[in-house]
C-alpha cells in the first residue's frame, strides 16, 4: 500500500475524531491531518528519515515530535503501556497537546481563512518546523479533504428521495403496461403489480357499488315523497275539520 493509499484510508477517521473532540470545522481538521500527512509521509514513516539535528534521534510519530516533546510522548506511552507507533498513542498525544501546551494551535487554525491558510497557521502554531514545505502540507490536506468527501457523501435531501421513488414507480408502471399487466404504487412508493383480470374484477365491484348507491338514493327519495304527500293530506283534513 502506498503512502497516499494509507493516508486516504486513515485520514477520514482521524478527521472525525478531531471534529468530535474540538470546536473546529472540517477544513480545520483537514489542515491538521494534512500537516501530519507531510510530517509522517502519509502515516507510513513515523521515524524521521534524516534528522535535521545531526546525531539526534530526530522526530517520531504523526507530528514528528522532537526533543522534549518526543521524550514526553514516549514517557506517556510507557506509563499507559501504549505502542508509540499505534494510532491510539499518536492521536491520544495529539489530543493531550491540543488541550494543554499547544492549545493555541486550535484558535490559530480556526481563525485562518481557507484550507491553505489553515495549513500554514497550524504549522506555525503547533509544529514550528525548521523547513516549512507548505506546498506538500497543503497537498496532503487536499487529499484528506477528497478522502472525506468520497467516503462520506452528502445526505440525499428528502424531496430528492421522493422524486426518485416517484420516477421509479412511474417507470415500473410503464414497463408493466407494456408487458400486459397493470401496476399501482403503494403508499411508500413501492410498485405493486396486478393482473388485468384482477383489474376488471375491481372495476366490476366498483360499478356494482355505484349502482347500489344510486338505487338507495332513488328509494330514499320515493319514500320521502310518500311521507310528504301523507303529511299534506293530514294537514288538509285538519283544516277542513276546523272550517266545519
Residue 225 CA to residue 231 CA, distance in Å, equals 10
Q: Can you give the pLDDT at residue 220?
A: 72
Q: Can you give the pLDDT at residue 178?
A: 72
Q: How confident is the model at residue 162 (pLDDT cuts 50, 70, 90)?
A: low
Q: How confident is the model at residue 166 (pLDDT cuts 50, 70, 90)?
A: low
Q: Can you give the pLDDT at residue 169?
A: 64
Long-range Cβ pairs for the range 49-55 (8 Å, 24+): 52/130, 52/131
Residue 105 CA to residue 23 CA, distance in Å, equals 12
Report the pLDDT averaged over residues 112-117. Answer: 97
Residues 81-97: tens digit of each pLDDT: 999 999 999 999 999 99
Q: What is the pTM of this model?
A: 0.61
The mean pLDDT of the chain is 81
DSSP per-residue codes, 157-209? PHHHHHHHHHHHHHHHHHHHHHTT-EEEE-TTS-EEEE-HHHHHHHHHHHHHH
The closest of 109, 53, 63, 50 to 73, measured between CA atoms, is 63
Comparing 209 with 37, the larger pLDDT belongs to: 37
Measure Cα distances from 85 to 16, 52, 63, 88, 137 in Å: 20, 21, 12, 9, 21
Please give the share of the chain, as a percent, with pLDDT higher than 90: 54
238, pLDDT greater than 60: no
132, pLDDT greater than 70: yes
130, pLDDT greater than 80: yes
Q: Can you give the pLDDT at residue 134?
A: 97
Residues 22-52: tens digit of each pLDDT: 999 999 999 999 999 999 999 999 998 877 7
Burial class (CB in 10 A: 0-12, 13-18, 19+), 83: exposed
Amino acid at each position: 500500500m502506498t503512502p497516499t493509499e494509507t493516508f486516504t484510508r486513515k485520514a477520514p477517521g482521524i478527521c472525525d475524531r478531531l471534529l468530535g473532540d474540538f470546536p473546529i470545522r472540517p477544513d480545520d481538521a483537514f489542515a491538521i491531518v494534512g500537516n501530519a500527512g507531510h510530517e509522517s509521509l502519509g502515516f507510513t514513516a513515523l521515524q524521521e528519515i534524516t534528522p535535521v539535528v545531526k546525531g539526534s534521534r530526530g522526530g517520531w510519530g504523526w507530528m514528528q515530535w522532537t526533543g522534549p516533546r518526543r521524550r514526553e510522548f514516549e514517557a506517556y506511552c510507557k506509563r499507559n503501556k501504549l505502542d508509540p507507533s499505534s494510532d491510539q498513542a499518536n492521536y491520544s498525544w495529539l489530543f493531550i497537546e491540543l488541550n494543554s501546551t499547544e492549545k493555541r494551535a486550535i484558535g490559530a487554525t480556526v481563525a485562518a481563512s481557507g484550507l491553505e491558510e489553515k495549513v500554514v497557521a497550524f504549522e506555525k502554531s503547533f509544529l514550528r518546523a525548521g523547513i516549512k514545505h507548505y506546498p506538500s502540507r497543503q497537498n496532503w490536506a487536499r487529499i484528506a479533504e477528497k478522502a472525506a468527501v468520497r467516503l462520506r457523501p452528502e445526505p440525499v435531501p428528502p424531496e430528492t428521495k421522493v422524486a426518485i421513488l416517484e420516477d421509479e414507480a412511474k417507470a415500473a408502471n410503464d414497463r408493466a403496461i407494456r408487458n400486459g399487466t397493470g401496476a399501482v404504487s403503494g403508499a411508500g412508493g413501492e410498485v405493486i403489480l396486478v393482473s388485468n383480470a384482477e383489474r376488471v374484477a375491481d372495476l366490476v365491484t366498483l360499478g356494482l357499488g355505484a349502482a347500489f348507491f344510486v338505487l338507495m338514493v332513488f328509494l330514499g327519495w320515493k319514500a320521502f315523497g310518500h311521507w310528504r304527500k301523507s303529511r299534506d293530506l293530514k294537514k288538509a283534513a285538519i283544516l277542513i275539520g276546523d272550517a266545519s
